[in-house]
Structures are given as structure tokens and as C-alpha cells.
Amino acid sequence: MKYVYMFIGTLVLSSPSAVNGSTAEFFSRLNFVGLKLALADGVSNGVAPAMFVSCMNNVQDDFLVETYSSILTENYSHQQVTSTDEFLSTKLGVKYANTLVKLSYKSLGKKAPENLLVLTSDEVETLEEIWSKDVDAILGPDSKIYSPALRLLVGNQIDSILHHCYREERPNKPLQ
């Protein structure tokens, strides 16, 4: 089942609705969208069983909130998390999320939804300037939120859910 990780953790994925709520909810939904896209791509390429897609339709999109809440609490100050919550509720924050949606589709060679308002080159420069001044920014490229340890933790959570999906569909067959 390691095919699921083909791009989860290298890109944080988003959907327009992912911007509502806390930073932990944002990252949970981002990874959920990424997982669903990866599974759909895996099914269409014949490397993933279709049962995973139908099983994932029954999983709540906030299944990783607790994981991200814990990581944010351990690695960031309350002020950093609050600032990120506020950023994600701004027009720039929404465009940031939408840009990640577009990149996620592009990474799979798919056409992104047309109605996504994405970052302009000036807005990208603004974000890069902000992140260059704040090396502890949660959404910045050097953030701990993108660390290998976090990707492993999230990957283990995802693997657990896929294992559960497999067991529901084929209770008496061993995992391959």
C-alpha cells in the first residue's frame, strides 16, 4: 500500500473548503484530499484496488486533526498557530490553498478545476518575503510541518485506515 505516498508529504494538498477551521483541520483536510486523489490515480493506473476509493468515501475528512493538533502543539507556539489560523481565513490564504490544489492536480498530470483563484507571481513573492523573515512559519518551506518525521506519522495513520478498508472488504485474505 506504499503507492499511496507517491506525493503525500511532498505536496500539501488543499481544496477550497479546506480553508475553513483551524490549522490542524486545514492540514488534515489537505492530506485527505491528497489521499483521495492518489487513490483515484492508483485505481485508474491499475495499481490500487477500487475498494479503497469506496472505503475512503466513508472516512471523515478530519481523521488526521488529532495528529496535526498534537504536532502543532509540540512544535509551534500558540501565537504561530493563531497567526496561521488567521492567515488561512484571508483572501491570500485561500489563494495559497487553491494554488496547492492546482499543483496537486498537476503533479498527477490532471487538469485542475477551472474556478480556482490562485496566487499571482506578486503574491508568491510576498509569501516568500514573509517566510524569509520568519523561519518558524508553519506554512513556510522550511517548516517542521513538512518534516520526514511528520510524514512518517501521517503515513502510518493513512496506512492504518487503508489496512482497515482492506480488512472490511477481504477479512480472510492476507495483506499483499
pLDDT at 128 over 50: yes
Q: Answer whether 0.75 is exceeded by the pTM.
A: no
Within a 10 A sphere around the Cβ of 148, how many other Cβ atoms? Answer: 9
**Using an 8 Å Cβ cutoff, are 13 and 108 in contact?**
no
Query: pLDDT, tens digit, for every residue of 5-47?
Result: 333 333 333 344 444 568 888 888 777 777 778 888 888 888 8
Q: What is the pLDDT of residue 120?
A: 92
Q: Whole-number mean pLDDT of the chain? A: 75
pLDDT tens digit string along 145-173?
Answer: 777 777 788 888 888 888 877 777 665 55
Domain ranges for the chain: 2-169
* Mean pLDDT across 103-121: 80
Lowest pLDDT segment from 66-70, 114-118, 133-137: 133-137
User: How many CB atoms are located within 10 Å of the residue 83 CB?
Assistant: 17
